[in-house]
Amino acid sequence: MIYKADDKRYEKMKYRRCGKSGAMLSELSLGLWHNFGSSDNYENMKAMCFTAFDLGITHFDLANNYGPIPGSAEENFGKILNHEMKSYRDEMFISTKAGYAMWEGPYGEWGSRKHMLASLDQSLKRMKVDYVDVFYHHRMDPNTPLEESMMALDTAVKSGKALYAAISNYDKPTMEKALAILKELKCPVILNQRRYSLYDRGIEEDGVKDFAGKEGCGIIAFSPLAQGTLTTKYLNGIPEDSRISKDGRFLKESQITPELLDRTRKLNDIAVRRGESLPQMALAWVLKDPEVTSVIIGASRPEQIVENCKLMESNPFTEGELTQIEEICKG
């Protein structure tokens, strides 16, 4: 059966402008970092993409190395896009990245012009698309001149292989220099993708959030649920199907401390009083900041996407709630 999107999808989602650009993103974006690799269930991937789009999620976030195996998330997404969703391509905002290890040899990672432009060409072939909407430099490179990496982004945009440039995991000093270079090149840079959650305040501590707001560059947040610690899944032990049990690279059992669980329980109590789940409250907390354009959610099944999208019905935080949340997180 051919996929037909929900006619009311744009009534279900809210959209925000990327800084001062003309581009707008759904407040929630679907990240394909996990559960879209070569060992994952293809029918489940399709169901998650369909569910997300039916709920008004237009932004699909990828990178060259997402898998495992590296590249397989792009291949699987490209298959879904071209076989099932091709008629909706112009309604979708697709991003990819280059910078982390992708192939062997000196050109397989980091920020050289050689790596970034070769990687983009590979990504376009895997997804079978003519262009991506956003092309990111995935991480700062201490050894390649920043001008070279930014000029590679500029080439990607001016060649028509990307519509906008973006950066990811950039600190404030490097972001400041990068934006100055891209501004001089007249290259539209619209986002800095950074980790941000109740449990990770890095963009507040290093000044990126405030700087992005002043410069008109959007922030897009990943890991808003802190690798699942801002859910109730670990409150009664570690489930067999959890990320810790299956992988353990990004979240280790040693990180699930009694102190963390105590904070999580207290935050969950506030969420219950607000009439929502802890993940919904955690996502709403990230989106309370006007500097944040969108929040990237991951999912292992469609029902999680449906549940996360209920935050569109969330009430604004009261000053009392925000004070309580801060006291819990800092305690």
d(CA 263, CA 70): 35
Range of the domain at 17: 9-228+277-317
pLDDT digits (tens, 9 = 90+) for 104-132: 999 999 999 999 999 999 999 999 999 99
- Answer for the pair 127, 81: CB distance below 8 angstroms, yes or no: yes
Q: What is the pTM of this model?
A: 0.94
Q: Tokens 């959209």 identify what position?
A: 15
Side chain identity at 312, as an amino acid letter?
M
Q: Tokens 């972001």 identify what position?
A: 175
Number of domains the chain contains: 1
243, part of any domain:
no
218, part of any domain:
yes
- Answer for the pair 137, 168: CB distance below 8 angstroms, yes or no: yes
**Cis before 190? omega within 30:** no
At 20, list the tokens.
Answer: 């001062």
d(CA 138, CA 147): 15
60, part of any domain:
yes
Distances (CA, A) of 68 to 275, 301, 302: 37, 18, 20
CATH of the domain at 200: 3.20.20.100
Q: Tokens 């495992």 identify what position?
A: 68
300, part of any domain:
yes
Question: Would you tell me how many other CB atoms lie within 10 Å of the CB of residue 42?
Answer: 12
Mean pLDDT of all residues in 181-197: 98
Task: Flag whether pLDDT at 139 surpasses 70.
Answer: yes
261, part of any domain:
no
Alpha-carbon dihedral of residues 57, 58, 63, 66, nearest 10 degrees? 40
How many residues would you count in the chain? 331
Give the pLDDT band of residue 256 (cuts 50, 70, 90).
confident
Cβ-count burial of 207 within 10 angstroms (0-12 exposed, 13-18 middle, 19+ buried)? middle
Residue 30's pLDDT is 98
pLDDT digits (tens, 9 = 90+) for 197-220: 999 999 999 999 999 999 999 999
128, part of any domain:
yes
- CB burial of 271-309 (b: ≥16 within 10 Å; e: otherwise) equals beebebbbbbbbbbbbbeeebbbbbbbbbbebebbebbb
| Percentage of the chain modeled with pLDDT above 90 | 90
- DSSP E strands: which ranges in the chain? 15-17, 24-26, 28-31, 59-61, 93-98, 132-137, 162-168, 189-195, 218-222, 292-297
205, part of any domain:
yes
d(CA 151, CA 288): 34
325, part of any domain:
no
Residue 82's pLDDT is 97
